[in-house]
Amino acid sequence: MVASIKNLSYIRHANMDVFDPDQRSSIMRRVRSRGTQPELVVRGIVRRMGIRYRCCPENLPGKPDLAVVGLRKAIFVHGCFWHGHHCEAGRLPKSNRSYWKSKQTRNAHRDLRNARDLRSRGWKLMIIWECEIRSRNRLESRLSRFLKLKP
Residue 73 to residue 82: CA distance in whole angstroms: 23
Same domain membership, residue 137 and residue 63: yes
Same domain membership, residue 62 and residue 135: yes
Same domain membership, residue 45 and residue 23: no
Residue 138 lies in a domain: yes
Which amino acid belongs to residue 100? W
Question: Tens digit of pLDDT for each residue in 34-64?
Answer: 778 899 999 999 999 999 999 989 999 999 9
pTM: 0.78
Same domain membership, residue 109 and residue 41: yes
CATH number at residue 118: 3.40.960.10
Same domain membership, residue 8 and residue 56: no
pLDDT surpasses 80 at 137: yes
Strand partners, 77: 128
Comparing 32 with 41, the larger pLDDT belongs to 41
The CB density around residue 119, as the number of other CB atoms within 10 Å, is 13
Per-residue pLDDT at 10: 45
Going from the C-alpha of 20 to that of each of 1, 10, 11, 97, the distances in angstroms are: 15, 7, 7, 17
Same domain membership, residue 82 and residue 57: yes
Residue 140 lies in a domain: yes
Question: Percentage of the chain surpassing pLDDT 70?
Answer: 82
Same domain membership, residue 45 and residue 7: no
Element (H, E) at 29: helix 21-29
Per-residue pLDDT at 149: 67
Mean per-residue pLDDT, 52-78: 95
Same domain membership, residue 72 and residue 23: no
Residue 151 lies in a domain: no
Residue 88 lies in a domain: yes
Per-residue pLDDT at 30: 67
pLDDT surpasses 70 at 19: yes
Same domain membership, residue 64 and residue 43: yes
Closest alpha carbon to 70 in 5, 16, 124: 124
Per-residue pLDDT at 9: 45
Same domain membership, residue 19 and residue 42: no
Quote the number of domains for the chain.
Answer: 2
**In which domain, by residue range, is 57 found?**
32-146
Per-residue pLDDT at 25: 72
Which amino acid belongs to residue 63? K
Same domain membership, residue 55 and residue 2: no
Per-residue pLDDT at 82: 87
